[in-house]
Structure 1
Amino acid sequence: MTDNVQTLDYGVATSVEQRNKVLRNTYWLLALSLLPTVLGAWLGVATGITRSLTGGLGLIVFLGGAFGFIFAIEKTKNSAAGVPVLLGFTFFMGLMLSRLIAMVLGFSNGSSLVMTAFAGTAGVMFVMASLATVIKRDLSGMSKWLFAGALVIMVAAIINVFVGSTMMMAVISTLAIAVFSAYLLYDLKQVIDGGETNYISATLAIYLDLFNIFQSLLALLGIFGGERD
């Protein structure tokens, strides 16, 4: 076996050069994907276009749009259409995030709360990326537990759309930060170890982790740190 090839415990053999290329392309595309997200969020806040998407209607639009885009991304990830479809998805997610951002900006300290959530998400990304590079053990066994945790959070969030409990939202957001931070570590480790070889799929997974962490942090900050004039 040559020096630049590593065989992983779960049976994947990829060159170091290939893994580094996937990781590099993933980080570049992840950075690029933030631009449509910010644009979508700004447009949503400025126009109030998502203000009417409350309750069941908002849930249908969000789930239908999100899963539709995710399906399209997986179908186009090996073609030239993959990146534009992914960027379209991140614009949609920014648009859907705008309702929460607009509510938080309604506080007198709203801008600082948004920046704090962004800084906190960046901090989680830095810590998990650092851990992913130093942890040597195979983390693939985490996947089923993380999926179960994410499924529980999604079901609870859907229920709370109709219940409207602030305390339940706080609990869900706290659990989401923990689960998706662990998911972020898992997804980054998959790329670093060669378990994920498509940079569009890798970007999608990491983007969803970061989106959920940011959204949950912002919700918690709004609940416990929001100040009225």
Structure 2
Amino acid sequence: MYPTSSTSYPLSASQNRVLRNTYLLLAISLIPTMAGAMFGVNLNFSFMKSSPIVSTIAMLAVIYGLMFAVERNRNSSLGVGLLLAFTFVMGVLLGPILQLALGMANGGQLIAVAAGGTAAVFFVMAAIATTVKKQLNFLGNFLSIGAVVLMVAVVANLFLQIPALHLTLCAAFVLFSSMLILFQVSEIVHGGETNYVSATLTLFVAVYNLFTSLLQLLMAFTGMSRD
């Protein structure tokens, strides 16, 4: 049981177990993500520049296909294996943005700041979710609508290629991902989510989008080109 106070929510044994397993699996999932990132940063992604729309659609098909497979097998050990495979693929897909960041004079610092900012947001949102008594059901509708709007905007900007819209989307993803972390942890705490594989998948996607969005904003506003 978590320590309780006038504003905390006491967890049952099952809720505590789901929360603990989710945090553990999320931490483990960062290992293949980092391995994939180290592999991806050395790959040549020039094909994505030559056919950005086709490559993006293919990438989304792979991502959502793996997410569907994880959810389909969330009650078995296969689901855990598929989740770790998914996080490795997502790590590889960090290659282009990491290459771009590392090409800047302060690229390493920007990556570190983005990672630190992601961790800070995660811990703050998780702390709020575990101490607020009220279940945050109202966020469910907001996130559902927000996900659709963001996806439509992302697809639209594939054709429009408007830099200002891209930065606006990055800022929107920071807010959306933060709220998703808050909602998902709250669902676990209040018994709305009982499967730690599904919970980990949601939190990983939120953390991933939060990191990449913060990094892109940092590169846009504080990135320094090499002389």
TM-score by length of 1: 0.90
Q: Which residue of 2 aligns with 1:71?
A: 68
Per-residue Cα deviation, 1:151-188 (whole angstroms, up to 9, x for no partner): 21121112222322221111100111111101110001
Q: Which of 135, 154, 157 is the equivalent residue of 1:157?
A: 154
Native 8 Å contact 1:166 1:223 kept in 2:
no
Cα distance change of structure 1 residues 39 and 148 upon mapping to structure 2, 3 Å threshold = same
Q: Give 1:16's aligned amino acid.
A: S
Structure 2 residue aligned with 1:117: 114
Aligned pairs for 1:75-114 within 5 A: 75-114=72-111
Choose the corresponding residue for 1:53, options 33, 48, 51: 48
Cα deviation code 1:94-123 (max 9, x no counterpart)? 111211111111111000000100000000
- Give the aligned CA root-mean-square deviation in angstroms: 1.4
Q: In structure 2, how many angstroms separate the alpha carbons of the residues matched to 1:68 and 1:41?
A: 20
Consecutive unaligned residues in structure 1, runs of 5 or more: 1-14
Tell me, yes or no, if structure 1 residue 35 matches structure 2 residue 19: no
How many positions carry a matched residue from both structures?
Answer: 215
Amino acid at match of 1:137: K
TM-aligned CA deviation for residue 137 of structure 1: 1.0
Query: Is the Cα–Cα contact under 8 Å of residues 173 and 210 in structure 2 kept in the other structure?
Result: yes
Instruction: Using structure 2 for the length normalisation, give the TM-score.
Output: 0.91
Match of 1:47, SS state, is: coil
1:1-229 alignment runs, 5 A limit: 16-48=12-44, 50-54=45-49, 55-229=52-226
Unaligned runs of 5+ in 2: 1-10
CA distance in 1, matches of 2:147, 2:46: 26
Deviating 4+ runs (over 6 angstroms)? none
Tell me how far apart the structure 2 counterparts of residues 176 and 16 of structure 1 sit (CA, whole Å). 32
Distance in structure 2 (CA, Å) of the matches to 1:45 and 1:51:
12
CA distance in 2, matches of 1:154, 1:17: 37
Q: Percent identity?
A: 39
Tell me the distance in 2 between the aligned counterparts of 1:162 and 1:31: 36
Alpha-carbon distance in 2 for matches of 1:213, 1:147: 17
**Per-residue CA distance 1:20-79 (angstroms, 9 max, x = gap):** 01111000100011111111111111122x342231122122211111001100111111
Question: 2: distance between equivalents of 1:109 and 1:155?
Answer: 33
